[in-house]
Structure 1
Amino acid sequence: MTAKQPPRSRPSGNEQSAPQTLQRGLSERHIQLISLGGAIGTGLFMGAGKTIAVSGTSILITYIVVGFFMYMVMRAMGEVLLTRLDYRSFADFVSDYLGPKASFFLGWSYWLSWVVTCIADVVVCGGYVQYWWPTLSPWIPALFALALLLAFNLLSVKMFGEAEFWFAIIKVIAIIALILTGLWMIATGWTSPDGVQASPGNLTDPAVFMPHGVVGFFAGFQIAIFSYTGIELLGTMTAETKTPEKILPRAIRAIPLRIIIFYVLSMVVIIAVTSWQHVSPDTSPFVTLFDKAGLPAAAALINFVALTSAMSSANSGVYSSTRMLYGLSVEKHAHRQFRILSRVTAIPVRSLLFSCFCMLSGTLLLFLTPNVMTLFTIVSTLAAILVIYSWGMILVAYLVYRRRQPELHEQSTFKMPGGRAMCWLTLLFFLFSLVIMVFDADTRAALCAMPVWFILLAIFWRLTLRRRQARARQSWQTSIGS
């Protein structure tokens, strides 16, 4: 017994002259660097300041715990994706194992999560540019960044891969340089102009382990989860990846080492050099580290790197939301116009333009809330809730896959560690992460708003079913009449 073939729609009308399949234009170097860049985003460069401020040095535990469960999601996703190489994304196997309604809810929710994430990223771009030009309105660089990313994604999937490749290279080099510089400062006992000495004692001080108690520790989970948003992007690139059966396992297995290097070590260095009391929740701690060290040129360079990081994350958002909307259209969960591909580059241009229009609409919220960090907190919380829902659906689909297809699991060469038990434990962790959002005012507002989205999806689903039933009756009556 094998999994049901995901439905593929037939081209019609003006679709006939366009390519009907996504092109496999992403090589191993693209995938490795994209997966690496996906682990280093705006949540780390900008959001880490707020997380350190509320969690103290317990942020190290936060990133390790969230990263562990995120890795379990990736292992579950990887195992199921590799059972069928014609899966375009994880939405396909969710449709197979949980049904079209679940796929509908997942696809649209994941699409919205990336739209919201991209809004957060381009909003932060405006904040980074204000480092050099404080009087510049943040919406100007935000809209410029969105227009630039639209141009990148209009060209070809290879151009997207190249842009992400170089964005990731910049981020990786910068963070490694920051870690090495910070370790040198600690080793030499560097003292900043305001009298703070770089020392391991800034990490081991019991007073800053949980400065705001257990409530502060749990409050850091939201930004930490948002920080990891994008790692699952590997699961939306299967249709455009050369030899996914070889590349996907290697990229997923490398995730734990990347979490330790880029999250844990960078946080260790930042806290040891600047001390918890001098980390501002409203600015990037990476920039603050060099500012406090009296190295403004290095701080400006890191600010530029943080800007490219936000651009990289937004670039992933544009790509992923476009492909998810394309997949929804192929499954007839969205308008058929969204599955039309461009003739030359095989890019779903209409999906791309619609997604970017929605991102543009959200970015204009900067007119209403000009404070970058306030708007970033709101939209990042919405994105975190939506991505938790998406990760949860992947895990539920994995459990159904294990029950229905035990022979595929036995044949798999990339099994999820811990199997069903670890899957249930990960689901419970994500449920717990949602519950603790109730206790913080910022996250509580976003959590209370989410039921509105799912109510709208339920209404939209009913309307979609009625249209399908009406078309089926019309087709049946036509066939009877003829």
Structure 2
Amino acid sequence: MVDQNKATADENGGAGELRRNLHNRHIQLMAIGGAIGTGLFMGSGKTISMAGPSIIFVYMIIGFMLFFVMRAMGELLLSNLEYKSFSDFAADLLGPWAGYFTGWTYWFCWVVTGIADIVAISSYFQLWFPGFSVWMSALLCIVVFLTLNIVTVKLFGEMEFWFAIIKIVAIVALIVTGIVLVFMHYPSPGGAHAALSNIWDRGGWFPKGISGFFAGFQIAVFAFVGIELVGTAAAETRDPRKVLPRAINAIPLRVIMFYVCALIVIMAVTPWDQVVADRSPFVEMFVLIGLPAAASIVNFVVLTSAASSANSGIFSTSRMLYGLAQQDVAHPLFGKLSPRAVPTNGLFFSCLCLLGGVALIYLIPNVMTVFTLVTTVSAILFMFVWTIILCSYLVYRKRRPEQHAASVYKMPLGKIMCWVVMAFFVFILVLLTLQQDTRQALMVTPLWFVILAFGWMMRRRRHG
């Protein structure tokens, strides 16, 4: 069996390059794992308390917009199988600067997201070990993820496969449990009973007004980061022409199933105005109805969800550093692979940067404050990457009409939707100025682009 795997790996990539060792099931589940992030499990409590039932529409709108980003990325990746990730087509279509800015920003996106996930994991740990140091649990997480990723990409694929299955089973179980509780009219401690009418009876669909509805977008956007992970994994996918379209096309169904249904069930069982903002409503739902054992199980699930997201992030950052080294915009050390075709130098560097999360938890003890700050920075950076994907698509349509005409996976309403989605991202940036905690993150984020611009100028000077 091992020899067979080795032969297949050698067919799909030599010793000096990434291997196409991920199968259809890995990519499908990775796409689902990417669509069910920590933002749903950890952040939905805050978004429900800010927006009330209107948060359902927030998730649907964001999911709708990001589907078109994914379709644009899918068409571009399949137009040239030499593209290993979106930093490759950005460099090819927009110029080397775009590859540099996209690659490094995406790397930083996942470092920041990894920090948010580790903050979330440390918070979940407190349910079982309230006396255990939060920053120590964060440090332990980083060591475990580094060990898992160093072995092989096949192991990473298997880990993500099982992590995603745990998430799916948990959300389906939560939805089924919620439906049963609604039919039973199960009482909750606040004097209410589980009923669908709990969603609209307490102030209607927009109880916090339009400002509350708008406030829900920040953490809701973060819930979707990682949705583009299938693009990063394309370099290590077998039969991408068949696998990628299948994974992308299922996104709308996943958004409705996992986000909308889960939120409806949570607000039907626990009226939205009783949802605790700084805790996971998934765990709290079972605590409220007096099932602490079930709460522990759900806590394990949300912990594995955050672990899955952090694991994906570490995978992505190491592969992005490898790609940047191949483009000669990162140190050649990051372009070296281990005998198992794993970019270990990139892994070590990314994990070293994740230690910043441990420092943040140590300096700011309030987990939700750190989580909001970090997730806002992450959401802004991801919107930059998604915008670069859309700009690359517009240039591709202008310069290579023959490739678009020959494409078997065309983006619907191509050019129009690119502009609509980019306008939507500008709208979200404006919304981030309305809250003090998100405004602070918005003011800090441009520093990253100043650092990148300085690095680009230094590189231009060095290379003449």
TM-score range relative to shorter protein: over 0.9
Deviates most, 396-405 or 362-371 = 362-371
Residue 339 (structure 2) pairs with residue 334 (structure 1): no
| Whole-angstrom distance in 2 between the partners of 1:204 and 1:415 | 40
Match of 1:231, SS? coil
Q: How many angstroms apart in 1 are the aligned matches of 2:375 and 2:434?
A: 17
1:419 to 407, 414, 419: 414
2:381 is aligned with what amino acid? L
Q: Distance in 2 between matches of 1:49 and 1:76?
A: 32
Mapped to 1, the partners of 2:316 and 2:199 lie a distance apart of 38
What CA deviation, in whole Å up to 9, does each residue of 1:87-140 have, x standing for no partner?
A: 110111111110000111111111101000000001111100101122221112
- 1: distance between equivalents of 2:133 and 2:140? 12
- 2:71 pairs with 1:75: yes
Q: Return the match for 1:58 from 51, 54, 61.
A: 54
1:392 maps to 387
Question: Which residue among 355, 371, 374 is the counterpart of 1:376?
Answer: 371
Number of the residue aligned with 2:458 = 463
Alpha-carbon RMSD: 1.0
Partner of 1:431: 426
Contact kept in structure 2, 1:55 and 1:209, CA below 8 Å? no
Contact 1:318–1:352 at 8 Å: present in 2 too?
yes
Alignment match, 2:90: 94
| Mapping for residues 212-231 of structure 1, pairs under 5 Å | 212-231=208-227
Q: Report what 1:250 is aligned to.
A: 246
> Is contact 1:194-1:292 (8 Å) kept?
no
The aligned counterpart of 1:318 is 314
Q: State which structure, 1 or 2, has the greater radius of gyration over its C-alpha atoms.
A: 1
Tell me, in whole angstroms, the C-alpha distance in 1 between the residues paired with 2:207 and 2:441. Answer: 25
The SS at the match of 1:209 is coil
Structure 1 counterpart of 2:177? 181
Query: SS of 2:305's equivalent?
Result: helix
Q: From 342, 349, 373, give the equivalent of 1:347.
A: 342
- Counterpart of 2:463 in 1: which secondary structure? helix
Whichever residue aligns with residue 36 of structure 1, its letter is I
- Extract structure 1 runs of 4+ deviating beyond 4 A: none
Cα distance between partner residues in 1 of 2:415 and 2:305: 35
Percent identity (aligned):
53
The residue aligned with 1:45 is: 41
Cα distance in structure 2, aligned partners of 1:37 and 1:288: 22
Instruction: Indicate if the aligned counterparts of 1:54 and 1:211 stay in contact, CA closer than 8 A.
Output: no
What is the number of equivalent residue pairs in this alignment? 451
State the partner residue of 1:156: 152
Kept after mapping to 2: 8 A contact 1:174/1:305:
yes
Residue 446 (structure 2) pairs with residue 451 (structure 1) = yes
Cα deviation for residue 208 of structure 1 reads 4.7
Which residue is equivalent to 1:7?
Answer: none
Q: Which residue pairs with 1:441 in the alignment? A: 436
- Partner of 2:8 in structure 1? none
Instruction: Spell out the pairing of 1:286-301 with structure 2 (5 A cutoff).
Output: 286-301=282-297
- Contact 1:223–1:380 (CA under 8 A) maintained in structure 2: yes
Residues 389-441 of structure 1, C-alpha deviation per residue, up to 9 Å, x if partnerless?
A: 00000000000000001111111111111110011101100111111101111
Aligned equivalent of 2:230, options 228, 231, 234: 234
Structure 2: how far apart are the matches of 1:362 and 1:166?
26
Q: Aligned residue for 2:298?
A: 302
Pick the aligned partner of 1:266 from 262, 276, 287: 262
Aligned partner of 2:368: which letter? Answer: M
Secondary structure at 1:131 match in 2: helix
Shift of 1:206: 5.9
Which of 15, 21, 30 aligns to 2:17? It is 21
Query: What are structure 2's unaligned runs of at least 5 residues?
Result: 1-13
AA matched with 1:394: I
Q: CA deviation at 1:170?
A: 0.5
Residue 371 of structure 1, CA deviation: 1.4
- In structure 2, the residue corresponding to 1:351 is in which secondary structure? helix
Question: Of the candidates 142, 160, 165, which is equivalent to residue 161 of structure 2?
Answer: 165
In the alignment, the residues of structure 2 paired with residue 34 and residue 199 of structure 1 have an alpha-carbon distance, to the nearest angstrom, of: 34
- Pairing partner for 1:30 from 26, 31, 38: 26
Report if the CA contact (8 A) 1:208-1:276 is conserved: no
Structure 1 unmatched runs, 5+: 1-17, 470-482
Q: Give, in whole Å, the separation in 1 of the partners of 2:102 and 2:300.
A: 35
Equivalent residue letter for 2:199? L
Structure 1 stretch 260-269 or stretch 403-412: which is displaced more?
Answer: 403-412
Moved more, 135-144 or 283-292: 135-144
Task: Name 2:351's counterpart in structure 1.
Answer: 356
TM-score (norm 2): 0.96
In structure 2, give the amino acid aligned to 1:326. Y
